[in-house]
Amino acid sequence: MDGALVAVSAVVHCTGESDIQNVNVSFYDGDPNQGGLLIGPAKISSIPVNGSARLRFNGYVGRSGLHYIHVVVDPLNSIRETNENNNVGIISVDVIPPTKPDW
């Protein structure tokens, strides 16, 4: 089987004027606006004003090669925000093909 389980860690900051609750976060293999595949949802119970929360996620990327994992905070825009343009983070992950035994 080609692919790998990847571990992604993200830090989400609350820069608004009030605490936020039930923050949905989605992880995509590729840009979700260009057909990227959802590899996992997650939720942060709360983040205080000027605080942050670390989120760790393990998701399967199904083929070898270079992937761009997109972390999208509040993907359904259910939280009222003063800045909607800072809700995406991207990290590159290089998935190496599995080694096969030399028989």
Using one digit for the tens of pLDDT, what is the confidence trace for 8-36? Answer: 889 999 988 899 999 999 999 999 999 99
pLDDT at 15: 87
For the stretch 37-91, pLDDT in tens is: 998 899 999 999 999 999 988 888 878 889 999 999 999 999 988 888 889 999 9
Residue 1 has pLDDT above 50, yes or no: no
Which of 49, 75, 69, 73 lies closest to 7 in space, CA to CA? Answer: 69
Tokens of 53: 């929360």
Which of 69, 67, 66 lies closest to 58 in space, CA to CA? Answer: 69
Q: 75: which strand partners?
A: none
Helix (H, G, I), strand (E, B) or coil at 78: coil
Whole-model pTM: value is 0.84
pLDDT at 102: 65
What is the CATH architecture of 4-95? Sandwich (2.60)
The single-letter code of the amino acid at 36 is G
Q: Alpha helices of 10-89 — where are they, by DSSP H?
A: none
